[in-house]
Structure formats: C-alpha cells, structure tokens
Amino acid sequence: MRITDVTLACLRAAGRAAGAEEVDLWRGLLLAAGADRIEDGPASGGCIALYRASSLDFEPEELAAFADSGRRLRIFGLDDALSREDYRAFLARLRQSGLPLEPAFGNAFGCATALGLTWLEEGGEGLVCSFAGIGNLAPLEEILTALHIFGLRQSSGLHVLPRALALFSRLGGLERVSVGESKAVLGRLLFTVESGVHVDGLLKDAALYEPFAPELVGAERRLALGAYSGRSAVRLRCSLAGLPCAEGQEAELARAVRAQGRRCGRCLEDDEFFALYERVCGRRHADVAGA
Amino acid sequence: MRMLRVLDVTLRDGAQAPGFFFSRENKVRLARLLDAAGVSWIEAGIPGMGKEERGDIRAVKQACSSARVSTWNRARREDIEAALDCGADLLHICMPVSKLHILKKLGMNPEEAAAGYLKCAARACGRGAAVSAGFEDASRADEGFMLRLALSLAEEGVSRIRISDTVGVLTPLRAASLVRLLAAAVPELEIHAHNDLGMAEANSLCAALAGATYVNTSVLGIGERAGNCGLARFTRLAARCALFALDLGEEEAARVEREAAPLLRRDEALLSGRSGVWNMRRLPL
C-alpha cells in the first residue's frame, strides 16, 4: 500500500508556494501521520483523466498505452463512479491489469474517500490524496484514519493532524482554505457534545457516540452547554470547573442554561455560564472555583 | 426505475449538533422549505422531550402540505404515548442494537433489550400507528441479532427498519451488505449515515443501490460530530444514478440549503462541514 500526498503540488498550482523549511516540516508531519510519499512537483509517471462514470466503459487494457516504461500510472477523476452498480467490477479490472496504477479519485461528489478506501480494501496498492481534499482529491486525513480504525494499516502518528492543519492553513492562506467546523477528522467541533442524550452517553462510556477516541487524531473532548443541556451536563460542567452545586440547584441551573441557549441560538460561552451560576447558586465563580 | 425517498432529519438530528437551536418559527420555516422542495418525509422532533417539543411537532405537521411527518422516540412506554399524542404519520422507535449500546447505555442484556423493543413496537402498532424501527449503532452490531430482531419486529407489524450508522464507521461495501441482510426481514429499509470518515453520501448511495428505499439527509449535512448525509450533496450524487428516481431534484435541494443557511445562523461553508477548499481547481495533470 502506498499513499501519496500531493498537497504541496496543489498549493503550488494555486499560487501558494511553500518555503524550504515549511516543505520539510510538512513532509515530517505527513510522514508521521502515515503518508508514504510527499510529492512537491508534477507527477513523475504517466497520467490519464477519466472524469466521469461513463469512463468506466474504458477497457483497462487500453491503459497500457499510457504507461511509461514501468513508472506509475496515475488515473484522475471518476468522481461519480459510485453511481454505477458495476464500479467494483471496474476497479477489479484495473487491479488485474497488472499496471502500476495510482488512482487520484476526484471528490466533486464527496465520494473520493469511499472510492479510495474500497480500492485499497480490495487490494489496490497506490492512492493519491491531499490534505483536507484540496485540489478535489480524497482527503488524506480521512483515508489514513479509516485505514487505522478498520485495521487495514496502523498509524501511530495521527495525533499530529492538528499541527498539520495549522501549517496547511498558514501555507494556503486562511481566506482560501478554511476548514469546516465539522470537517471529518479535522473539524474543531467534532468532539464537542451538547445534547442531553449524548452527554448522558459520554458519562456512561465515551465510545457510545464516538467512532474513535479524540486523542487518536490529536483532538480533545469538549462539553458545550446550550438549548439542549440537561442536569447531567450542568453537573459535569460544574465539576470540571470545580464549582459546588447542590442537587436542587442543578435543575434550576439547567433550566437557565437552556433558556439562554434558546435565546442566543448557540452554545454558551464560559463567562455566560459562570454568570448564570452566580445568579442561581448565589456564589461568584471566582470565589469558589477549584476551592 | 424505482423510487428513492428522502427522510430529512435536520429538525431532530441536526438540532443535536452543538450550538443549534431551532425556535418553533424556524422549525416551521425549515419544514416549509423542505415540503415545497418535494421532500417526502420530515423527522420533526422527539415527543418525549416535553410539551413544547410536541407543540413544535404539531406545528410542523400543520405546515406541511405534502411531506409526511415522523417523530423519533426511545423504546419506552411513556415516549410512545407522547408520540401517539402528536398525530404524526410515522412513529420511529430507536432500538440500540450493538452490545456496547445495550450493555453500557441501557444496562441490559441483548435478550432483555429485544423483548422490550418488541413490546414497544407491539404497543404502537396495536394503537394503529405506522412504525419504523431504528437500529441504532447497527454498524457495530451483531448481524445475527439484528436479523432475528428484524424478523420478530416484522411479525409485530413493523414494515420499515432504519440502519443507523451512529458513529459513522460504515463503508460502502458494508452499507450494501447490511441492506441486503435485512431486506430478508422487512420490505422497507432506510439508511442513516454519519460523516465521521467523510463517507456519509457514498454510504447512503451504496445502501440505496443495494435496495434501501429511504435515505436520511440533513440540510447542509448538520448533525452530531461530522454531521449527516447532506441533502444537496446526496441529491446531486443520486441524480447521476440512472437506477432510481429521487423525490426531489438537485436544484430544489440546493435551493433549500441556500434559503435555510440564514435560518441556521452560521456561515454556509463552515456549516457544510466540508473543507472550504472545494472550490479550488482540480489538480492540474
């Protein structure tokens, strides 16, 4: 299995060249996370674009004409290949062609991770990815995390992903490459829990509502209070902040939190929660926290 | 060509994403957008949460001219009673099926849990409700247990089962395999996919290709953690598939998301849960 990251080439194509030091840092982080090869220039083998599912009718044997004396042959596109029932048969024919293929599945329909994982799961060797899916490719962090949790390939360095994200944002320019707050594997809100049923689950066993522990990808679990928070959430928040709260006051504090969450239409900031705590419990947060 | 129907869960699962709260007014506005776009089903809320929520569900039901309304419920007698009181078209009962959920969340063994689920389903069906069973955490559950439960539920009158990939760890191959397995027990299957590994839409499509007739979506993909299968993204993908007809087109779905974004009070790109780099060019060859 060989996972190639082409993020630097994508950034370069978008006019965002990285300096030598940054390239070295990027290389170090991504290799630690589990990529096998970091590419910083044009692909060295042959390239062919099969942009649409209709391209699946292309006979894999014809690809041999594009292969360049044994070097790897990169196939771009196939963004919508999953929309055809015979996509697996086509991928199998590609694998059986004996060519050193390295698909760079396109992600215009959000299927590149699924296609890449299916390709690797069924015996494909090479795959081209990019960080956060830049350049319309399979997001590297999704592929590496999926391979790890499905036991297809262990990676002990996924916890560097937030550092890679910070460098990626710097290299790409925040205005162009902001990553969604719920972006799979990377989003800052992935392990933030607010609703009552999920806080309850978290208290019983975090694995109930998490696909993997946040530490695996260098993230932290966070508790947010808002319109759906119940007594369990309030009790946990008070306990984390070292605030004493009598059982009778928990319900009242939870009601106040929910009311403010509904009014604001968002989670409460710490200061807002502490203000409610003072109002309901009659004690200043600063006076009792951690006492 | 067979029909594939959308059951949108924005008002229930979407509302569980941190920081979201939908006032009754906004729930009704979102429901109207979905209804006008042609979405077949809307999961309007959780009756067991209280009177206010039940009022919201009734208001959503009243606002829809063609979309039908379902409710999400725990397998508890009091929740079923609360749901029956809402007048929704479908009563969805959540049934955790993985050992982890049954042991750690419910504190039961699988046999006890299954007996409780069957009793709840029988109660709801006996009162004339259309019932769907939600196999929570199906992607980490024992297949034999699910199949036996599905067969027993079918005998009680349950005609639809939701395969819930609660923590987003399904793959396209496994999504298809679960649908084929449970199709032996019930005529209608529904896929509920989360996007933790970036495969929610792909898994939903593969489940549909394998025979699922309902797909759960949410507006802009909002939901717990990395969110759910996105309405517009799924519709765009499904439109490329010649094997089934969807109840709404990609333009209608895109319009819903455009018009809903201000109601959700967040930046659309951030809400979509995807990277903001999608608009960049393809990697040049």
pLDDT tens track for B232-271:
999 999 999 888 899 999 999 999 999 998 888 655 544 4
- Is the same domain home to A285 and A209? yes
Cα–Cα distance measured from residue B34 to residue B66, given in angstroms and rounded to the nearest whole number: 10
* DSSP tag of B228: B
Contact predicate B41/B69, CB 8 Å:
yes
Q: Flag whether pLDDT at A265 surpasses 80.
A: no
Query: What percent of chain B is predicted at pLDDT more than 70?
Result: 93
- Is the same domain home to A105 and A231? no
Residue type, A7: T
- Is the same domain home to A144 and A52? yes
Report pLDDT for A50: 67
Please, which pLDDT band fits residue A173 given cuts at 50, 70 and 90? Answer: confident
Please, which pLDDT band fits residue A71 given cuts at 50, 70 and 90? Answer: low
- C-beta contacts of A17-20 below 8 A and 24+ residues apart: A18/A171
Report pLDDT for A46: 64
Measuring CA to CA, how many Å separate B51 from each of B54, B56, B83, B86, B222? 5, 9, 11, 10, 25
More confidently predicted of B163 and A83? B163
Average pLDDT, chain B: 91
Contact predicate B18/B51, CB 8 Å:
no
Contact B265 A265 (CB under 8 A): yes
Cα–Cα distance measured from residue B18 to residue B11, given in angstroms and rounded to the nearest whole number: 13
- Is the same domain home to A257 and A114? no
Please, which pLDDT band fits residue B156 given cuts at 50, 70 and 90? Answer: very high
Q: Which residue of A has its CA nearest to B229?
A: A110
Cα angle at B42 between B118 and B79, to 5 degrees? 35
Phi, psi for B85 (deg, rounded to 5): -75, -15
Who contacts B69 (Cβ-Cβ below 8 Å, separation ≥6)?
A: B41, B42, B43, B44, B57, B60, B61, B88, B89, B90
Which residue matches tokens 């319009």? Answer: B255
Query: Is A267 domain-assigned?
Result: yes
Report pLDDT for B284: 39
More confidently predicted of A56 and A168? A168
Domain count, chain A: 2
Report pLDDT for A174: 56
Q: What is the CATH number of the domain that holds A86?
A: 3.20.20.70
Report pLDDT for B276: 39
Question: In this structure, how many other beta carbons lie within 10 angstroms of the beta carbon of residue A213?
Answer: 12
- Last residue in a domain, options A175, A204, A238: A175
Measuring CA to CA, how many Å separate A107 from each of A101, A272, B279, B280? 18, 41, 11, 12
Q: pLDDT for A48-60, tens place per residue?
A: 666 666 676 777 6
Contact A53 B240 (CB under 8 A): yes
Give A131→chain B minimum CA distance, Å: 10
- Is the same domain home to A64 and A123? yes
Report pLDDT for A203: 77
Q: How many CA atoms lie within 13 A of A91 on its CB side?
A: 26
The residues pairing with B72 across neighbouring beta strands, listed in sequence order, are: B92
Q: Flag whether pLDDT at A182 surpasses 90.
A: no
- Is the same domain home to A57 and A164? yes
More confidently predicted of B20 and B229? B229
Please give the sequence-ordered ranges of beta strands (E in DSSP) within B174-243, or none if there are none.
188-193, 214-217
Query: What percent of chain B is predicted at pLDDT more than 90?
Result: 83
Please, which pLDDT band fits residue B144 given cuts at 50, 70 and 90? Answer: very high
Query: For an interface test with B, which of A155, A171, A182 has the most B Cβ atoms less than 10 Å from its Cβ?
Result: A182
- Is the same domain home to A196 and A170? no
- Is the same domain home to A16 and A151? yes
Query: At A261, which helix (H) or strand (E)?
Result: helix A247-264
Contact A211 B243 (CB under 8 A): no
- Last residue in a domain, options A140, A175, A210: A175
Query: Is A231 domain-assigned?
Result: yes
Mean predicted confidence (pLDDT) in A251-271: 86
Which residue matches tokens 């015979």? Answer: A86
Q: pLDDT for B225-238, tens place per residue?
A: 999 999 999 999 99
Q: Flag whether pLDDT at B278 surpasses 60.
A: no
Report pLDDT for A195: 65
Kindly provide the b/e burial profile for residues B74-90, where b requires at least 16 CB atoms within 10 angstroms of the residue's own CB: bbeeebbebbbebebbb
Give B157→chain A minimum CA distance, Å: 28
Contact predicate B123/B76, CB 8 Å:
no
Report pLDDT for B44: 97
More confidently predicted of B281 and B134? B134
Q: Flag whether pLDDT at B281 surpasses 90.
A: no
Contact predicate A118/A91, CB 8 Å:
yes
- Last residue in a domain, options A143, A175, A207: A175
Q: pLDDT for A92-147, tens place per residue?
A: 988 888 888 889 999 989 999 999 999 999 999 999 999 999 888 999 999 999 99
Q: pLDDT for A224-233, tens place per residue?
A: 888 888 888 8
Domain that holds residue A71: 2-175
Mean predicted confidence (pLDDT) in A188-198: 79
**Would you kindly state where each structural domain of chain B is located, as residue ranges?**
2-271
Looking at the structure, give the CATH architecture of the domain made up of residues B2-271.
Alpha-Beta Barrel (3.20)
- Is the same domain home to A110 and A32? yes
- C-beta contacts of A198-204 below 8 A and 24+ residues apart: A198/B16, A198/B224, A199/A223, A199/A229, A199/A230, A199/A232, A199/A233, A199/A236, A200/A230, A200/A232, A201/B105, A203/A232, A203/A236, A204/B104, A204/B105
In the three-class reduction of DSSP (H, G, I as helix; E, B as strand; rest coil), residue A194 is classed as coil
Question: Considering only CB atoms, which chain B residues are within 8 Å of A226?
Answer: 18-19, 21
Q: Flag whether pLDDT at B154 surpasses 50.
A: yes
Query: Is A217 domain-assigned?
Result: yes
Please, which pLDDT band fits residue B95 given cuts at 50, 70 and 90? Answer: very high
Query: Is A182 domain-assigned?
Result: no
Flag whether residue B56 sits within 8 Å of chain A, measured between CB atoms: no
Contact predicate B230/B199, CB 8 Å:
no
Q: pLDDT for A272-287, tens place per residue?
A: 999 999 999 888 777 7
Q: pLDDT for A3-51, tens place per residue?
A: 999 999 888 887 887 888 999 999 999 999 999 999 987 666 666 666 6
Report pLDDT for B72: 97
Query: For an interface test with A, which of B165, B277, B278, B281 has the most A Cβ atoms less than 10 Å from its Cβ?
Result: B277
Question: Considering only CB atoms, which chain B residues are within 8 Å of A5?
Answer: none
- Is the same domain home to A277 and A199? yes
Mean predicted confidence (pLDDT) in A239-246: 86
- Is the same domain home to A15 and A150? yes
Flag whether residue A162 sits within 8 Å of chain B, measured between CB atoms: no
Structure tokens at B266: 């967040």
Report pLDDT for A196: 67
* DSSP tag of B106: I
Which residue matches tokens 């333009």? Answer: B251
Mean predicted confidence (pLDDT) in A252-257: 92
Q: Flag whether pLDDT at B275 surpasses 50.
A: no
Contact predicate B133/B124, CB 8 Å:
no
